[in-house]
Chains A and B, each alone.
Chain A
Amino acid sequence: NAGVMQNPRHLVRRRGQEARLRCSPMKGHSHVYWYRQLPEEGLKFMVYLQKENIIDESGMPKERFSAEFPKEGPSILRIQQVVRGDSAAYFCASSPEGQGTGAYFGPGTRLTVT
């Protein structure tokens, strides 16, 4: 049973470009979380999704950021018109159900904006 997969592992974008980060949850998991990790700031919750449904996006910046988890295929975190401040590690985690469970993490995508 493969773990949570994220790709790419490293992504370099110039300011103003778009970044697309992909997350394939563990088999049988229907819930996905996205977190951002900045040095000295720990893990910041961004968004929590179920297939075809955003459950909680209270941690997402209001502009330029969006996330989806379609019925088929991976979850996508999309950052439009990236800025230097978007440089961070983005982690995806999946769980088999929503509440009351832990989550399994992917290896992360390190985004660098030049």
Chain B
Amino acid sequence: AQSVSQHNHHVILSEAASLELGCNYSYGGTVNLFWYVQYPGQHLQLLLKYFSGDPLVKGIKGFEAEFIKSKFSFNLRKPSVQWSDTAEYFCAVNTDKLIFGTGTRLQVFP
């Protein structure tokens, strides 16, 4: 069965620091990969997605993610975080249904 692992449960950064959130999945076939963000008190929004093609995907608000097939990974990155990036971030995999990781809570301090 497919599964998604997010190893960083809680990340604390200062503004302007660089961010990388890990995401690994287990599924041997073709996958579609997503990152969602949930700002405090709001519902989930799609940040970026990978279906095929260039493994480096750029999303909204300066986020990007790289699909590394050999490592079954789809890590999320941002070169310089802002206080407004404080949120919970979920990685998701879609094969026959959409499955989420447990999420990473990011806190950015000014």
Interface residues of A (CB under 8 A from B): 33, 35, 40-45, 48, 55-56, 91, 93, 95, 98-108
Contacts and interface: CB of A to CB of B under 8 A. Distances in A.
A105 B36 CA distance: 10
B27 interface: no
B44 A102 contact: no
A100 B32 contact: yes
A35 B38 CA distance: 14
A43 B103 contact: yes
A36 to B, nearest CB: 11
Interface size class of B (residues with CB under 8 A): 20 to 34
A30 to B, nearest CB: 15
Contact of B43 (A55, A91, A101): A91
Contacts of B96: 56, 98-99
B100 A99 contact: no
A55 B94 CA distance: 14
Contacts of A40: 9, 102
Nearest to A47: B97
Interface stretch (B13-21, B45-53, B61-69, B75-83): B45-53
A99 B94 contact: yes
B32 A45 contact: no
B63 to A, nearest CB: 15
B98 interface: yes
A93 B34 CA distance: 14
A100 B42 CA distance: 25
A102 B103 contact: no
